[in-house]
Amino acid sequence: MIDIPRFGSRARQLAGLDISSSSVKLVELSGGDKEAYKVERYAIEPLPRDAVVDGNIANLEVVSEAVKRALRRFGPGVRNVAVALPASLVITKRIILPDGLREQEMELSVETEANQYIPFALDEVNLDFQVIGPAAGSPGEVDVLIAASRKDKVEDRVAVAQVAGLRAVVVDVESLAIEAALELVCRQLPNGGRDKVIGLVDIGANVMNVAMFRNRQQVYSREQAFGGNQLTQDIARHFGMSPEEAEAAKRSDSLPDTYGRELMRPFMDSLALEVSRALQFFFTSTQFNQVDHLVLAGGCAVMPGLCDVVGARTQIETVVANPFAGMTLAAKVRPKNLLADAPSLMVACGLALRRFDA
């Protein structure tokens, strides 16, 4: 039935490989229990524009070469990786099944249920499922998550890993990986964020994803067409650069002194406005009327002063995501660099955590 590994596949040594529209990222964690993780190593390699478009790998060779370059900096010794598909390429559905089913019986039940929700023939998709736990209010039944994606979408990411000399042993969903990393961030909040509504604002290159959580359960999500590429385009126009030059200058912090006042601050104001709009959508479409904490993730999250701008606009306590806070670091991991890169490593970190799944 299933062509891809289970969400919880365990590997003795496993790195998280995140392939986004702007870069590839590798993270390896070690440790024995969830209170003693160690960051062994990580690497980020930028991708050229249009190598990955809307989550789809448009140029497999270019992406594979980027992974190879990241691996050279990452160092030898890792063969197995966990990769993830964007949520937009995956159909997910929670169903209720009787507890105590044998695995084959559960697979048949999942296939039967999946036929109702997946608009493709089952032989065209990779289908997987995971038992979440006992079904709330339904004794003797369990909550099961079904995930399905077109085979070609899965095969593209598996192929990128293979060309780079890696083996994809776990295929996950980006939203689930980022939830795993968010749990580490929530531990840093007062009382672990228990019984609070926590908003995760993940600012990508082209899209901003806003998801709301309460007690580890996602209660809302929304995608908005706003991202860091907008600032890159502004820089290119304003300073007469190519998009590639503008992106490089933005990353290296080598822009003229006027950049902050003329471009960065207006961009941050626009971003804060987008977050505020997303909150209003949340309030009007759910029973919730309050968000207690906002967590900023993605490459833009470390822009100087962004937390303050978003916090002032929304009147909500705002922090920058750092799932590695409190972890020990291997000697070659530079704390200052990791702190700057941490918000963009949420998916890769969540994928690396699959190593510790039972």
Cβ neighbours, 10 Å, residue 155: 18
Judge if 15-181+327-356 and 189-320 fold alike in CATH terms: yes
Task: Name the CATH topology of 189-320.
Answer: Nucleotidyltransferase; domain 5 (3.30.420)
Cβ neighbours, 10 Å, residue 99: 13
Of the chain, the end-to-end C-alpha distance in Å amounts to 22
According to the model, what pLDDT value does residue 4 have? 41
Distance CA 316, CA 298 (A): 19
According to the model, what pLDDT value does residue 5 have? 42
Q: Which residues contact 248 (CB under 8 A, 6 or more apart)?
A: none
CATH architecture of 15-181+327-356: 2-Layer Sandwich (3.30)
- pTM, two decimals, is 0.88
Domain ranges of the chain: 15-181+327-356, 189-320
Amino acid occupying residue 62: V
Q: Are the beta carbons of 156 and 57 closer than 8 angstroms?
A: yes
- The backbone torsions φ and ψ at residue 290, rounded to the nearest 5 degrees and listed phi first, read -155, 140
Q: Are the beta carbons of 142 and 131 closer than 8 angstroms?
A: yes
According to the model, what pLDDT value does residue 54 have? 85
Local confidence pLDDT in tens for the 358 residues of the chain:
233 444 444 446 899 999 998 899 999 999 866 557 999 999 999 998 889 998 899 999 999 999 999 999 998 889 999 999 998 888 888 888 898 888 888 888 888 888 888 888 888 888 888 888 888 878 888 988 888 898 989 999 999 999 999 999 999 999 889 999 999 999 999 999 999 999 999 998 888 999 999 998 889 999 999 999 999 999 999 999 998 888 888 888 889 999 999 999 999 999 999 999 999 999 999 999 999 999 999 989 999 999 999 999 999 999 999 999 989 999 999 999 999 999 999 999 999 999 887 5
Distance CA 324, CA 332 (A): 15
- Answer positive or negative: Cα dihedral of 153, 159, 164, 166: positive
Distance CA 88, CA 153 (A): 11
Question: Can you read off the two tokens belonging to residue 339?
Answer: 């702190």
Question: Can you read off the two tokens belonging to residue 132?
Answer: 């979440």
Residue 41 β-bridge partners: 28
Of residues 82, 48, 73, 64, the one with CA closest to residue 165: 64
Distance CA 307, CA 321 (A): 11
Distance CA 327, CA 282 (A): 33
Residue 328 β-bridge partners: 38
State the Cα torsion 156-161-162-164 to the nearest 10°: 130
Give 262: exposed, middle or buried? Use CB within 10 Å, 0-12, 13-18, 19+. middle
- DSSP, collapsed to helix, strand or coil, labels residue 13 as coil
